A = this chain, B = another copy of it.
Amino acid sequence: MTAEEFRRHGRAAVDWIADYWGRVESLPVRSQVQPGWVREQLPPAPPYVGEPFDAVLADLDTIVVPGLTHWQHPGFFAYFPTSTSGPAVLAELLASGLGVQGMLWQTSPACTELEQHVLDWLAAMLALPEKFTFAGTGGGVIQDTASSAILVALVAALHRISDGQVAREGIERGRYAVYTSTQTNSALEKGVRISGLGASSIRFIETRSDLSMDPDALRAVMKKDVAQGIVPVMVMATVGTTSTGAVDPVESIGRICRESEVWLHVDAAYAGVAAMCPEFRWIHQGVAAYADSYSTNPHKWMLTAFDCDACYVADRESLVGALSVLPEFLRNPATDSGAVVDYRDWQVPLGRRFRALKLWAVIRCYGVEGLRTHLRHSVALAQRFAAWVGADERFELMAPHPLSLVCFRLRGADEINRRLLEALNASGRVYLSHTVIHGAFTLRLAIGGTATRLEHVAAAWDQISRLAAVCG
């Protein structure tokens, strides 16, 4: 592809995206294809001779788009949003064109320093403590997802508590325990399995009526473990659970961790960014005093495009100690001097993209004010929606909804709610997901998409209300 062709196809691709964002509302939000349909459209063998880029763009329309579930559709209310934006997409384009790889400071200083700087900015925006910044003893790093943040936090916690013995000699089966609530994301169990602790080392702590972790139950379970010679390694508190958005009492949990020198990781993947607004900053209560590590996903609700998890540690030495292996081919004077951060030691992979560029572009182009407006807008829409649900006696609200996730169901059997969910999603107008709360099948409506406005939430409620009459 010549430079002129790149400019021409590049303009076409930019226009394709602008057109796509303009028309995505007219597409069915959940893909309607059957398993295997996409593969059936594709030739069994790769082309021997190259084709023009136009051919790819044409197949994007005819083969790929019908096979997509449109996460940028304003009627996408499932899981959590992965909201993208113009500045994020263009910064990703620039990062891709630059094609640098930031495994070491040396391999592209700006890739590392911009990341350090922007994560310090974000810490300030979220009122996170200085210990999480490079001015303190810790610092931030961009991970792909909260799952990876949890895994590296766990590995660092094991490193600290074992004084490096786990990294040298491995896990001792049955010796360690990890604590989280019954409402936690599956990412912790996955991380615990990958880290060699085994699923049986997790203690799922009971929750209070608001579905947040019960600190008394945590204390009791931990005490029992300690009495049996088991070493508590890490507690993971969640600020905004995937299931219902519940916020664990980080302060009370933190005090328990502090007594026993247990690592406290706070997973705020979805909700954390809300702390940018002073009125939602209560969600971080206890983080400054007690958390050893923390992560939130700007790619979810902060317009930054997947993937971008902002992960902070208070003690960077534990993390780097756990993950650093320095072979000869990576040695260089800057690393040897100790004056720089080499982010390869802060993550599972060796190589890394220039993801800081998009976080920088988003923060600069929206500003703190613009991002707050987006967050507040989502919360306001969710409160409107919850008010409509609450005023309709056919429905019940199943959990507190202080932010932008609303959990609700039709009073009555699970089967009715399953039918309602499937009817909604089959409509192509909206896409919701579900959870189970107190044993009951429950619908989740999560707001935060870049293009979602009041009219889309109102239309969703209208459709829910009408289909409820059919399914109920």
Contact = CB atoms under 8 A, between A and B. Distances in A.
B7 A18 contact: yes
A340 B151 contact: no
Interface in A313-349: 322-323, 325-331, 334, 337, 339-340, 348-349
A393 interface: no
Nearest to A151: B348
A469 interface: no
Interface stretch (A181-189, A207-215, A257-265, A395-403): A181-189
Nearest to A244: B329
A31 interface: yes
A348 B351 contact: no
A17 to B, nearest CB: 3
A35 B6 CA distance: 35
Copies in the complex: 2
Counting contact residues on chain A (CB < 8 A from B), the size range is 35 or more
A40 B339 CA distance: 15
A282 interface: no
Contact of A365 (B11, B52, B189, B307): B52
A93 interface: yes
A194 B194 contact: yes
B93 A93 contact: yes
B116 A39 contact: yes
A70 B435 CA distance: 47
A366 B50 contact: yes
A190 B325 contact: yes
Contacts of A307: 349, 351-353
A345 to B, nearest CB: 9
Interface in A85-113: 85-94, 96-101, 105-111, 113
A329 B174 contact: no
A18 B3 contact: yes
A110 B64 contact: yes
Given A93-B14, A353-B307, A1 B48 contact: no
A14 to B, nearest CB: 3
Contacts of A109: 31, 33, 35, 37-38, 67-69
B99 A305 contact: yes
B173 A170 contact: yes
Given A60-B94, A79-B107, A87-B56, A186 B100 contact: no
Interface stretch (A198-206, A218-226, A247-255, A378-386): A198-206
A136 to B, nearest CB: 15
The 9 closest A-B pairs by CB, nearest first: A196-B196, A67-B110, A170-B198, A10-B14, A17-B97, A1-B86, A50-B367, A38-B113, A171-B196
